[in-house]
Amino acid sequence: MAKVEVMSSEMVVPADETPRGSIWLSNLDLAGRRGYTPTVYFFHPNGDPSFFSAESMKDSLARTLVAFYPLAGRLGLSRAGRVQVDCTAEGVVFVTAKSEHYTLEELMNEFVPCGEMRDLLVPPTPAPNPPCALLFVQVTRLRCGGVVLGQAMHHSIVDARGAALFFETWASISRGAGTPPVQPCFDHTLLAARPARERAVLYDHVEYKQEPEPVDPVSAATYASAMFRMSKAQVGALKARCAGTSTFRAVVALAWQCVCRARALPASAETRLYSMVDMRARLEPALPAGYFGNAVIRTSVTATVGEVVSSPVVHAARLVRAVTSQGNEHARSLVDYLEGVDTMNLPRCGISRTHLRAISWMGMSMSDSDFGWGAPAFMGPALMYYSGFVYVMNAPGKDGALALVLSLEPESMPEFRKVFADELARLQV
């Protein structure tokens, strides 16, 4: 794969004075994956001489960091050894690069989330442990004049929705806004465990426990990745088969069936589908719209492979619906449960070969990431973390299509391509 040429790398600090001190992180922050989440935004050239100029991007980033000042700090430790954010205003890493090899269309046609793409389009990051920077940004100019904006943000301080809020705010300020459209909230104590005498762990929370058979992190990290497009008509036909369930649940149910078939798992084997649920609006009271932290919880449902593959897809979709409808008590129970465990020993390195983990990025509006030169043609993850991971997101374009981004064992991917294509063909009948 062609390499990019790095032109510069520097620190961008907040444009004005910002608060100092530390920010306490919740159990949901500490229970997440300890690492950086790399994403990429692809932008078509528009002929403007100032198109993604380094100076304008650094200027708007510096002004955005005034509101999002924790990102300019460092991951730190309290005196008790608990991970926190130290608000030091040291800045974020900003890299400019160029590639004479790719046009935007060529890169988008070749793009799949993988280590090579991450290394090409996102700055290298250090070990994700204190002390470390929290945000790395790279602007890569392509041969055609198009740009890829790549970033890696530390997952311990924010989830995908919070990260999207930062980039939408940066885009808004780049377009000329004087203040953030939504004020960020850094009060992670809103997700603190209840006092000891009031704690109530009402659920098993198996998703936060080690599997009976430990997952080999080396094997889990070996995967093939691919993107699959579902047209608006195909999505509509699938939803019609899964009446009463959401688009995400219907698409994930179909992917679950196809993955089980592609892996040629025995009918008696147990398969678990993990999902992530955003609890911002489900808590009582709801979190502020600008909550900047981790507010998602893991949920899961189990079934036998035979049940998943031999039943109509609506059955799997309803199984998913049943475990992605949790409310306040489930979230509070989880936070209380995590208060009594060592979060450093929670499972993070992968999942069993019979399981699947699904995440929705469908709610991320690309139009809100317009930095003043047009909305991105596509945004998505730059990397898949292990085998058995699936994202459902908006596909490039404005035709209502969806993209299914999947990582799978290399030996299973060819069969998945076949069975998934067969299912999509049936949806067009």
pLDDT score of 171 = 96
Domain 198-427 has CATH 3.30.559.10: yes
- Where does 198-273 have alpha helices with state H? 217-220, 232-241, 247-262
pLDDT score of 220 = 61
User: Is 279 in a helix, a strand, or coil?
Assistant: coil
Cα three-residue angle 311-316-319, rounded to 5 degrees: 130
pLDDT score of 301 = 93
Query: What residues contact residue 101 under an 8 Å CB cut-off, 6+ apart?
Result: 2, 143
Q: Which of 29, 154, 155, 336 is catalytic?
A: 155
pLDDT score of 321 = 86
The fold of the 7-191 domain, in CATH, is Chloramphenicol Acetyltransferase (3.30.559)
Radius of gyration from C-alpha coordinates of the chain: 21
Residue 110: Cβ within 10 Å count: 11
pLDDT score of 366 = 65
- 28 CB burial (10 A radius; 0-12, 13-18, 19+): buried
Q: Which of 119, 278, 368, 370 is catalytic?
A: 370
The yes-or-no answer to whether 7-191 and 198-427 have a common fold is yes
Angle between the 313-323 and 247-262 helix axes, to the nearest 10 degrees?
120
E strand residue ranges, 13-168: 21-24, 36-43, 74-77, 83-87, 92-99, 132-133, 135-142, 147-154
Beta bridge partners of 21: 87
pLDDT score of 391 = 94
pLDDT score of 348 = 66
429 residues of the chain, pLDDT tens digit each: 558 899 999 999 999 999 999 999 999 999 988 899 999 999 999 888 899 999 999 999 999 999 999 999 999 999 999 999 999 999 999 999 999 988 999 998 888 999 999 999 999 999 999 999 999 999 999 999 999 999 999 999 999 999 999 999 999 999 998 888 999 999 999 999 999 999 999 988 988 887 766 565 656 678 999 999 999 999 999 999 999 899 999 999 999 999 999 999 999 999 999 999 899 999 999 999 999 999 999 999 999 999 999 999 999 999 988 877 788 999 999 999 999 888 877 766 678 889 999 999 987 766 688 999 999 998 999 999 889 999 999 887 777 889 999 999 999 999 999 999 999 998 875
To which residue do tokens 């960091």 refer?
A: 65
Active site residue 155: yes
Active site residue 342: no
Q: By the 8 A CB rule, do 70 and 23 touch?
A: yes
Domain ranges of the chain: 7-191, 198-427
pLDDT score of 2 = 59
Bridge-based pairing of strands 147-154 and 270-278 is: unpaired
Query: What residues contact residue 262 under an 8 Å CB cut-off, 6+ apart?
Result: 408, 412, 413, 415, 416, 418, 419
To which residue do tokens 């908006």 refer?
A: 394
* DSSP states of 135-185: EEEEEEEETTS-EEEEEEEETTT--HHHHHHHHHHHHHHHTT-SS-SS--B
Instruction: Look up the pTM and report it.
Output: 0.93
Of the candidates 235, 7, 280, the one whose C-alpha atom is nearest the C-alpha of residue 123 is 7
User: Is 75 in a helix, a strand, or coil?
Assistant: strand
pLDDT score of 400 = 82
